[in-house]
Amino acid sequence: MHAFRDAAPRRQLSNSPPSSVAECRTDRTFCATAIDPAVRLPRPSRRECLSAIVPVAAALVTGGFTAPTQGQEAATATPSPPAADSDGVKIHPEFPSHDPALVREIVGASHARLDRVRELVEASPALARAAWDWGFGDWETALGAASHMGRRDIAELLIAHGARPDLFTFAMLGHVEVVKACVEARPGIQRIPGPHGITLMQHARTANASEVIAFLDSVGGADERAMSLEMSEAEKDGYLGRYVFGRGDDEWFRVLRTRQGDLAIQRAERTSRVLNQVEERGFAPVGAADVRVRFEIVDGRAVSLTIHDPVPLVRAVRADQAGR
């Protein structure tokens, strides 16, 4: 077994932002009314029906919330165009929550696409506060995306529409007094990484915020990046492949190489996450330091993987071992 602290050659991994994939969402929406069959009443309009149902739905939600199942999560991953009511208003299946397709799109677009971000927030200002989980709890807000990319223009636009700036945003914008106040009020806060494991110092450097860089240098600990044990190319090859955990069309993982040569894990055709090797046969996805992806190796080749967070959540078997 490798001891992480004793495993000498290590390297720092680059933290590249995920790409934005925007898809439309479709589903049917309907209203139901309960009226006394003995009384002949005019049929309510669709708008009247929705007006009656939304408060009831809100009251039910207030009474108790059930976390989405894995099947529900898969459904939101492939949205389709919503149907229109009689007045042409688009209502998607997650209403009154925001359409997950738009949430994902604005977070992705906020890395670099100013014009698209402007279109989205002008149509729906609340999207300026949107957040998306890229996988394993690697949450990122639209403003967080702009901040780690050094996009002051996008950040200012989002803030103008109600986005909530945090320490990483202030570091990127060069507000050194705010950064100092946070560190003094909460010593050690500079060590907490941002989305994708990107450090506070990296946020400042991306925007050439010289005063913030100098201050963070003076306190230390603001640039502690995720580390990974060195692996040979042959060792990496042993992990590559498809691993199945169910019979559904998307119930499988793929372990692949990124363009930079790092190992990554991907569920079906979703966003892949770079894997940092932190123990023998064990990896942590970027932006999810507490998650472990552990492999069973036979004759130098992985035959299964198990994902722990921190308890085991799912086991997947290599496709050729599972007969698929």
d(CA 171, CA 214): 11
Tell me the HSE value of 235 on the side-chain side, using a 13 A CA sphere.
Answer: 11
Handedness of CA 190, 117, 107, 161 (dihedral sign): positive
Handedness of CA 133, 261, 265, 223 (dihedral sign): negative
Fold of 231-322: Lipocalin (2.40.128)
Query: Is there a contact between 179 and 214 (Cβ–Cβ < 8 Å)?
Result: no
DSSP class of 25: -
Query: Is there a contact between 82 and 92 (Cβ–Cβ < 8 Å)?
Result: yes
Residue 191 is predicted with a pLDDT of 98
Taking residue 224's Cβ as centre, other Cβ atoms within 10 Å add up to: 15
Contacts of 211 (CB under 8 A, 6+ apart): 174, 176
d(CA 63, CA 203): 41
Residue 89 is predicted with a pLDDT of 67
Residue 85 is predicted with a pLDDT of 55
Residue 287 is predicted with a pLDDT of 96
Spell out, as residue ranges, where the chain has pLDDT lower than 50: 1-42, 49-50, 52-80, 86
Query: Is there a contact between 54 and 96 (Cβ–Cβ < 8 Å)?
Result: yes
Query: Is there a contact between 127 and 120 (Cβ–Cβ < 8 Å)?
Result: yes
Helix (H) or strand (E) holding 76, with range, is: helix 70-77
CA-wise closest residue to 243 among 319, 313, 296, 314 = 319
Residue 91 is predicted with a pLDDT of 85
Residue 238 is predicted with a pLDDT of 97
Residue 40 is predicted with a pLDDT of 42
DSSP string for residues in 192-244: S--GGG--HHHHHHHTT-HHHHHHHHHH--TT---EEE---HHHHHTT-EEEE
Model confidence pTM above 0.95? no
Taking residue 113's Cβ as centre, other Cβ atoms within 10 Å add up to: 17
